[in-house]
């Protein structure tokens, strides 16, 4: 299968070379205006953008073939992630490619601001020798407040310790209880403001963090402190910042990002004597740009081909749930979903999921997304996949929950169990495992312990455990010229009820299923398509 990738803006040669050399990849772009973008995206399986390309509903509607929107960078504020998710489009970024570049830039800004380097350089250019007049401060013994303890916040914190800096950390979205780094103290936001000599902002953008540094925050900040913002302009109320600088609550600020970029030439922030400003240079290193290109190109190709899914912001993957390691269980969840979705007697209204075993515990969200995808609750929606499934299912009123004690099968150390409740009040349960050969197995279905591989076309029966059933099924399928590949059987007791999973080579006609259900010994006959 071949894929078309649209690169809308400049991409480093490192990334372009990977795309050009890849098999089954056709590359086109860049585009020069919105009209050209909307026309080009119609043929694209994936688009790679930077900051200038606005990926909104209009663009996503035009990209009817789109599977991936990739941002060559850490941020993705120019992409409508919610709309992309509804349409089943993966949104990708490269958050790790520029970490070291940004961290080093933060310290460069701190050092330049603290030692007044720009003033020193300019004074010499003006013919002045202000050796004794220009006096800065040293970092040793200072307190650095770090807002946000993701990868950037962590890297900044450990490097600050090399300078002999005491570090305060605040992050409401990260479990900070396990931090044991020496010299790093976990505090609330108010305390961080009151104690920090230098404050650096590394947190992500959310409704609660937009305008985090407002008049109230600047009123609490330690008098004479310095503010560093090299990541998100939205974190700072620029009017409040100017007021803090003018009134003396701040000794200075270093800014690499602005509410409007580029800012107006007469911007008071740019010309303020206490401000060190730069034109969004935080990730502009040769190494960072090359790594960004490499990561985005490689990850887009892998995702298109279904080989790996890295840095997909609207899929529930994390560092503890890498796709390649957990691929088999993700596949199993999809198969359980297909089994229950296609054998349900009426529309499903509720899905309960239980994962047993330490190996499976981190997989809950990933498993749920793939379970819902496989269940195909919205088979008429062309955008329905594991990206959109949680959103679209919820909007259709499907309830999901994580439960315990759905099923007791102690012989299996790692077990995935799903219970569905249908609108008619009936419920069904299925459970599966991964064998040592990475093969998915259904081990329980609707009260019966079974052992079947969920692949291809499978005829699922509930029947009496009496002689003659196999013969009747074989005759019926033989008349339809459908070959039986394998027959798996599970029963309660000898002569009681049983469940049959019959792998077949073709698709059974509707009348075959209807005729089978007319047999006295067969209570249900369902065709399940797993592949």
Given this chain, do its domains 3-93+288-304 and 99-277 carry the same CATH topology?
Answer: yes
| Cβ atoms 441, 433 nearer than 8 A | yes
Q: Are strands 348-356 and 415-422 parallel, antiparallel or unpaired?
A: antiparallel
In the chain, what is the straight-line distance between the N-terminal and C-terminal CA atoms, in Å? 17
Distance CA 21, CA 432 (A): 40
* Range 3-93+288-304 has CATH code 3.40.640.10: no
For the domain made up of 99-277, the CATH class stated in words is alpha beta
Helix (H, G, I), strand (E, B) or coil at 147: strand
> Which spans in 308-466 are helix H?
323-343, 364-375, 389-395
pLDDT, tens digit only, all 531 positions of the chain: 899 999 999 999 999 999 999 999 999 999 999 999 999 999 999 999 998 999 999 999 999 999 999 999 888 889 999 999 999 999 999 988 999 999 999 999 999 999 999 999 999 999 999 999 999 999 999 999 999 998 899 999 999 999 999 999 999 877 777 676 777 899 999 999 999 999 999 998 888 899 999 999 999 999 999 999 999 999 999 999 999 999 999 999 999 999 999 999 999 999 999 999 999 999 899 999 999 999 999 999 999 999 999 999 998 887 678 898 899 999 999 999 999 999 998 999 999 999 998 788 889 999 999 999 998 754 566 778 999 999 988 888 889 999 888 988 888 888 999 999 999 999 999 999 999 888 999 999 999 999 999 999 999 999 998 988 889 999 999 999 999 999 998 987 787 889 999 999 999 999 999 999 999 899 999 999 998
∠ CA(58), CA(63), CA(69), 5° rounding? 95
Question: What are the φ/ψ torsions at residue 359 (nearest 5 degrees)?
Answer: -65, -30
Q: Which two structure tokens, joined as six digits, stand for 434?
A: 């991964």
For the domain made up of 323-529, the CATH class stated in words is alpha beta
Distance CA 70, CA 68 (A): 6
Distance CA 196, CA 175 (A): 22
> How many Cβ atoms are within 10 Å of 72's Cβ, its own excluded?
26
Residues 6+ apart with CB under 8 A from 136: 114, 115, 116
Q: Omega of the bond prior to 30 within 30 degrees of 0, cis?
A: yes
* Nearest CA-CA partner of 313 in 135, 22, 91: 91
Q: Where exactly are the structural domains of the chain?
A: 3-93+288-304, 99-277, 323-529
Report pTM.
0.84
> How many Cβ atoms are within 10 Å of 212's Cβ, its own excluded?
19
Residues 6+ apart with CB under 8 A from 77: 205
């Amino acid at each position: 299968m071949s894929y078309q990738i649209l690169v809308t803006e400049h991409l480093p040669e490192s990334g372009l070379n990977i795309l050009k050399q890849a098999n089954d990849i056709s590359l086109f772009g860049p585009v020069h205006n919105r009209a050209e973008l909307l026309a080009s995206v119609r043929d694209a399986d994936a688009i790679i953008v930077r900051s200038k390309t606005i990926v909104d509903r209009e663009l996503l509607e035009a990209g009817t073939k789109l599977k991936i929107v990739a941002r060559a960078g850490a941020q993705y504020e120019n992409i409508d992630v919610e709309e992309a998710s509804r349409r089943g489009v993966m949104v990708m970024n490269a958050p790790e490619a520029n970490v070291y570049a940004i961290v080093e830039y933060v310290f460069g800004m701190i050092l330049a601001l603290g030692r007044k380097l720009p003033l020193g350089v300019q004074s010499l250019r003006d013919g002045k020798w202000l050796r004794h007049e220009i006096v800065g401060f040293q970092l040793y013994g200072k307190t650095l407040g770090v807002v946000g303890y993701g990868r950037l916040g962590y890297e900044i914190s450990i490097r600050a310790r090399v300078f002999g800096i005491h570090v305060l950390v605040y992050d409401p979205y990260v479990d900070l209880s396990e931090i044991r780094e020496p010299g790093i103290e976990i505090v609330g936001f108010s305390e961080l403001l009151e104690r920090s000599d230098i404050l650096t902002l590394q947190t992500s953008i959310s409704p609660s963090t937009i305008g985090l540094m407002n008049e109230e925050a600047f009123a609490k900040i330690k008098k004479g402190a310095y503010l560093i913002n090299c990541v998100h302009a939205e974190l700072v109320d620029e009017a409040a910042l100017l007021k803090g600088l003018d009134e003396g609550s701040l000794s200075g600020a270093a800014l690499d990002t602005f509410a409007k970029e580029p800012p107006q030439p007469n911007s008071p922030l740019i010309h303020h004597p206490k401000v060190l400003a730069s034109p969004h240079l935080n990730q502009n290193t040769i190494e960072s740009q090359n790594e960004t290109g490499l990561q985005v190109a490689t990850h887009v190709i892998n995702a298109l081909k279904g080989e790996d899914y890295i840095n997909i912001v609207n899929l529930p993957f994390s560092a503890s749930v890498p796709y390649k390691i957990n691929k088999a269980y993700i596949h199993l969840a999809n198969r359980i979903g297909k089994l229950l979705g296609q054998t349900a007697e009426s529309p499903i209204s509720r899905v309960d999921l239980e994962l047993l075993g330490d190996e499976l515990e981190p997989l809950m969200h990933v498993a749920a997304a793939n379970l819902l995808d496989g269940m195909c609750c919205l088979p008429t929606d062309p955008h329905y996949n594991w990206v959109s499934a949680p959103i679209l299912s919820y909007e259709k009123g499907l309830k999901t929950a994580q439960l315990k004690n759905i099923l007791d099968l102690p012989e299996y150390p790692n077990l995935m169990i799903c219970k569905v409740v249908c609108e008619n009040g009936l419920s069904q349960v299925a459970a599966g495992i991964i064998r040592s050969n990475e093969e998915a197995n259904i081990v329980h279905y609707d009260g019966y312990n079974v052992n079947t591989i969920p692949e291809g076309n499978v005829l699922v029966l509930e029947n009496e455990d009496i002689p003659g059933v196999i013969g009747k099924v074989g005759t019926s399928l033989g008349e339809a010229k459908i070959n039986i590949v394998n027959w798996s059987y599970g029963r309660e007791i000898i002569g009681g009820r049983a469940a049959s999973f019959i792998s077949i080579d073709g698709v059974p006609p509707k009348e075959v299923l209807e005729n089978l259900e007319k047999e006295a010994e067969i209570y249900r006959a369902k065709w399940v398509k797993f592949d």
